[in-house]
Homo-oligomer: A and B are copies of this chain.
Amino acid sequence: MALSIELNRSAKRSIYRQIAEQIKTQISTGRLPAGSRLPTVRKLATDMGVTRLTIQSAYGELQADGWIESVVGRGTFVSERVQPQTLHSSIGHCLTSDGILSDMFEVNKVIGVRSMAIAEPDSDLFPLDEFWASLTRLRPKAAELFGYTPPQGDPDLRVEVTHLLRDMGIGTTPDDVVITSGVMHGLTLATQALTQPGDAVLIEEPTFIGYLNILRAQGLRPIPVPIHADGPDLEQLEQLMAHEKPALYYTIPNFHNPTGQVWSLAHRRKILALAERYNCPIVEDDIYGLVSFDGSPMPTLRSMDDGNRVLYLNGFSKALMPGLRIGYMVVPEQHKEDLLRLRRSNDLCGSGLNQRALAHFLRDGGLKRHLRRIIPVYRQRRNSAMNALTRYMPSAVTWARPKGGYSIWLTLPRYFPPGELYRMALQQGFVFTAGEAYEMDQDEEFEYLRLCFGNQTEEGIWAGVRLLSEIVRREMVEGGRRNGESLRA
């Protein structure tokens, strides 16, 4: 059958990846169903005026990802493992923050779906050789590392984390560091340590959806403060601290998730001053802090805090590899015993092998080398996403340029009924993070969505943004007509 493929022959964009991504789009949208025969390499190369090697590379990538299969003597076919139909029955039906988080995991890496829903690094960029070497050198220590690990974390890793923190302007000792099974786990423990069920907790709106799930699981009452480009609305923050007596304020000052924004230095100072005035502990989530594209990020609240008021969390899921499941907390003295008690009562301790391997990887400079290698790549992906959005999105859609992290927060020009855009995109084999996940009240209409660019090549970003833009453009008109909605201001 004939493939309809358009190429952008600019020097910067890889031709074979453009071809591969456009074939993916045709597969995921169902235009090329499972079992369809693809043109031969020779034929497609001739049709498109490219070399056979280019087509071979495109087919090779699609085959490696499992989207197509070659049968010797018969030809190349769309894989039978492409399964958008199975997915449609289980995905997109529960629009709570947890339902959508569950969807993210279900569709991630499913063959036949292009997912820009998870703010994760690209596994093709993981420093596997170097990390594996750190890991396999631990064979002589295996008997120790497969025993119970100290609940506070491997001592070697806590030393290395202290060095990493020092480079980030945070002076501390291994004694004040608690290793957790990822930042999410640290947020669970920190929140439990600082609250009683029923307490009010100040959060930014929007904020990390995992944190909304933590608040729900612990029976806490979220109090949202709106955010602007340079931080939370300070007037409202003060009023809420004064009147709601929140047990803590959860903030993401660097490369805020989902908006990608950075709180200004003035805002940081004011946040700390308010926290002191109203005696409100701050839980600072800096998970994207090291994924910084345009120079150094701002100093952390923890590094500016002289009052032991900030509980600082960070980890290695975004800057390194999420599957390590390693995060860490820098814990004010007055909360340390409670946090260790809660860690012991939650899951006892972590896995010594991963922790020690990471310690050696850090000690040997592996993280710094890795960041030097990947930051330019992700910066380019951010730039591609910006360019593709400018090129394809209706002009009424707006977004900010993220200076770090993997998320772009889009504001749509009208409200949409829950689930509408999300299910529409799913039918086209495409997933973003549904804006509904960020709503406290899931019956409300929504006007936002998050697009993650970390795990896609530049060509994948162009193809994904283009598809999403088409859906948004159509639904801005069609959806409105169907539902009698009016355009938003």
Contact = CB atoms under 8 A, between A and B. Distances in A.
A402 B217 CA distance: 39
A5 interface: no
A128 B321 CA distance: 25
A242 interface: no
B184 A341 contact: no
Interface string A104-116: 0100110000000
B341 A213 contact: yes
Contacts of A213: 341, 344-345
Given A128-B142, A181-B181, A197-B219, A149 B323 contact: yes
Main secondary structure of the interface of A (DSSP, over half): helix
Given A102-B340, A120-B147, A150-B105, A323 B348 contact: no
Interface in A310-330: 321-325
Contacts of A123: 143-144, 146-147
B143 A139 contact: no
A185 B325 contact: no
A194 interface: no
A124 B124 CA distance: 38
A307 B406 CA distance: 47
Given A148-B108, A321-B146, A347 B128 contact: no
A147 to B, nearest CB: 5
A136 interface: yes
A136 B136 CA distance: 7
Interface in A114-166: 118, 120, 123-124, 126, 128, 131-132, 136, 139, 142-151
Contact of A185 (B144, B184, B347, B353): B347
Contact of A188 (B132, B142, B180, B345): B345
A348 B185 contact: yes
Nearest to A96: B341
A214 interface: yes
Contacts of A300: none
A322 B146 contact: yes
Nearest to A347: B185
A142 B132 contact: yes
A354 interface: yes
Given A132-B139, A142-B132, A340-B102, A148 B322 contact: yes
A192 interface: yes
Contacts of A124: 143
B348 A147 contact: no
A350 interface: yes
Contacts of A150: 105
B105 A151 contact: yes
A323 B353 contact: yes
A210 interface: yes
Given A142-B128, A146-B324, A351-B325, A217 B105 contact: no
A345 B101 CA distance: 10
B217 A345 contact: yes
A8 to B, nearest CB: 28
A342 B218 CA distance: 10
Contacts of A435: none
A182 interface: yes
A98 interface: yes
B344 A101 contact: yes
* Max chain B Cβ within 10 angstroms of own Cβ: one of A98, A347, A350: A347
Nearest to A196: B219
A213 B353 CA distance: 26
A349 interface: yes
Given A145-B323, A148-B323, A210 B340 contact: no
Given A139-B132, A143-B123, A143-B126, A323 B344 contact: no
Interface in A91-106: 98, 101-102, 105
Interface of A: 98, 101-102, 105, 108-109, 118, 120, 123-124, 126, 128, 131-132, 136, 139, 142-151, 180-182, 184-185, 188, 192, 197, 210, 213-214, 216-217, 219, 321-325, 340-342, 344-354
13 contacts: A120-B148, A123-B143, A123-B144, A128-B143, A132-B139, A136-B136, A146-B323, A147-B321, A148-B322, A188-B346, A210-B348, A353-B354, A354-B354
Given A120-B147, A128-B146, A210-B345, 20 more contacts: A102-B151, A102-B341, A108-B148, A126-B142, A126-B143, A126-B146, A146-B322, A146-B324, A147-B322, A148-B323, A182-B348, A185-B347, A185-B348, A188-B346, A188-B347, A197-B219, A213-B345, A216-B345, A217-B342, A346-B346
